[in-house]
Amino acid sequence: MNRHELKNLGMRKCVSVLSIAWPQAAFHWRNGSLFHSVWARVGRAIFAAGLCMACIWGGWQTMAAAGWIQTHRMQWQQMARAQVTQQAEQALQRAKFKALSLTHAQKIEALLEYQSQVDELILAWPNSAFRMQLIHRLQQLAQTKNLHIVQMKFTPLPDEQGFEVGTLDFSLKGSQAATFAYWQSLNQLFQNGIWPKLTWRLLPTGEYALEGQIHLLWDADDAFTDTGVELQDASRVLAEKKSLSLDARALPDHSVAQMRLVGAVQSLTASQQTLFWTLVQSGQQTSAVKPGQYLGIENRLVLSLDAQGLWLGDEFGQPSSLLAWEKVLP
């Protein structure tokens, strides 16, 4: 028995079983009237509709899987993926912001530290108000330490980086402790100073000589302030005083710190007016001065003479220093 015969045998067995189970359906099947009834038509319509729906659903799923149709599920998945990506970007942005904030805080801290250092340095830079009385203050400082001033002068130099520049040269004699304390005071006073020259040596007389040169910067911005205007006026007044004739000045080449008050005299003029003169000695030179004259290289105004000594005024005419009697009252 070949395969074809086996197939026919199987078909006959199936038809026989179905005929026994459903004889009426088998009868209509043999007569060709099985699908002519109303219920047969309804069943065929339902089967055809279901088959169409299955085909449509399969085609829809196929096109959706291929990305040709945007379904709600796909849109939700895309939105979910976009939200995850956005959250990752936000986390990255927050991390970058924290890093930038930390860097900014470090830069601000470094800037504040640098600014504090600059402020400390700027505060150490004397302005014009101090510069105008520099020599006088340094001479007073030397007097308080019982030092003998050999030389002290200030030389202006061309401006540098918007600052006025000058060089201070000095030479003093005194004890070891006094000269060292004087140098410490200058080093503290001029914290921005540069010392191109500094010599400290022992003299044959047993005293110590302190010689030095310091390069200084001066803040010129105060020229635009009220203080600067006042200082400019004072400078102009001082220039006018310096332009006076030599008759109105006494010992113009000597420092007041080196002068000694040695006596006083009085004289009568032709009009029987009494004039009081004060004898001031500097080195080997003695000069008679009277109120209204200017004394020394500092142009100190001679004000009056009393039991304490000779009162000298500053460039504003206010009492600023006293030249005491050398030994006893005359």
How many degrees, rounded to 5, is the angle at CA 153 between CA 148 and CA 155? 165
Whether residue 198 is found in the same domain as residue 251: no
Is 229 a domain residue?
no
Which pLDDT value is given to residue 266?
74
pLDDT for 269 equals: 62
Distance CA 268, CA 26 (A): 173
The confidence score (pLDDT) of residue 36 equals 67
Q: Which residues contact 238 (CB under 8 A, 6 or more apart)?
A: 132, 299, 315
Q: Domain check: are 109 and 190 in the same one?
A: no
Q: What does the pLDDT read at residue 209? A: 92
Pair (186, 220) in one structural domain: yes
Q: Which helix (H) or strand (E) holds 305?
A: strand 300-305
* Range 253-256 contact pairs with CB under 8 angstroms and sequence separation of 24 or more: 253/297, 254/282, 254/283, 254/285, 254/296, 254/297, 255/135, 255/139, 255/149, 255/152, 255/282, 255/296, 255/297, 255/298, 256/136, 256/139, 256/295, 256/296, 256/298, 256/300, 256/312, 256/321, 256/323
* H-state helical runs in the chain: 3-21, 23-31, 38-66, 72-123, 128-132, 134-144, 176-189, 226-242
Q: How many domains does the chain have?
A: 3
Q: Quick one: 161 and 218 in the same domain?
A: yes
pLDDT at 130: 61
Coil, helix or strand at residue 133: coil
147, 173 contact by CB (below 8 A): yes
Last residue of a domain, one of 101, 123, 145: 123
Any domain includes 239: no
pLDDT for the residue numbered 212: 92
Same domain, yes or no: 180 and 262: no
Query: Is there a domain that residue 163 lies in?
Result: yes
The secondary structure of 8-71 as a DSSP string is HHHHHHHHHHHHHH-HHHHHHHHHT-GGGSHHHHHHHHHHHHHHHHHHHHHHHHHHHHHTSS--
Q: What angle do CA 136, 141, 145 make, to 5 degrees?
A: 145
Residue in 151, 214, 205 with CA at minimum distance from that of residue 175:
205
What is the model's pLDDT at position 34?
64
What is the pLDDT, as a whole number, of residue 246?
43
Averages of pLDDT over each 10 residues, the chain, 330 residues:
78 80 74 68 84 89 76 80 92 91 89 70 54 78 88 86 84 90 84 84 91 82 46 49 55 82 74 75 84 82 83 68 68
Cα–Cα distance between 8 and 14 in angstroms, integer?
Answer: 10
Q: Which of 103, 123, 143 is the last residue of a domain?
A: 123
Q: Which domain holds residue 119?
A: 89-123
CB distance 13 to 19 below 8 Å: no
CATH (domain of 286) = 2.30.30
- Indicate whether 68 belongs to any domain: no
Residues 183 and 155 in one domain: yes
Q: 118 with 136, same domain?
A: no
